[in-house]
Amino acid sequence: GSFVGGLVGTNSGTLSESSFTGSVTGSNYIGGLVGYNDVSKTISKSYSTGSVTGSNYIGGLVGFNNGLVDNTYSNVDVTGVDSVGGLIGKSDHSTTDVSKSYSTGSVSGTLRVGGFIGENPIGCSASFWNLQTSGQSTDSCASGKTSLLMKTQSTFTNAGWDFSNTWKMPSNNKGPPCLKWEQN
């Protein structure tokens, strides 16, 4: 069906310190964590891993975002048709803000495909996607980085990420940052 997420179909509040690992499949508004993030609602300090497959508005973390997304990441292989992104399929609203987030999974689609956000007329800040693992060379707002730079803390601290309270580098030094609340 539609409006499907690994954890939440439609977010109508605040979602924080949440995660989902697994496969999510549907048709439209499909996300690894949330299918649809409602107007002015918040997703923060959360992540998803696994795979997401659908048709339109397909994202590794959120299928369609109309709210706030900050301090999040997705390591999700994303497959769709239109508005397909490593973190978000489509982000669209005057109050939308996406910041301090990244994606590292593979991304494939036909129309409006991005390494980070598939369709994004609004913009984002201090966010990244992995050029090598995504298979995507462009994005409408985030900065593409190599796998090596995605494992380098200064890539993120230079963009203002908080490694005192929110983020940490993995104990095995083999990956990009993870959230401090995670067991690692």
Q: Side-chain half-sphere of 14: how many Cα atoms within 13 Å?
A: 5
CB 43 within 8 A of CB 72: yes
The pair of structure tokens assigned to 89 is 């399929």
Give yes or no for residue 96 having a pLDDT over 80.
no
pLDDT confidence tier of residue 165, bands split at 50, 70 and 90: very high
Give yes or no for residue 137 having a pLDDT over 90.
yes
Q: Which residues contact 159 (CB under 8 A, 6 or more apart)?
A: 100, 126, 128
The pair of structure tokens assigned to 157 is 């601290």
CA 176 to chain centre: 14
* Predicted structure pTM score: 0.96
Instruction: Please report the sign of the dihedral spanned by the C-alpha atoms of residue 75, residue 63, residue 22, residue 162.
Output: positive
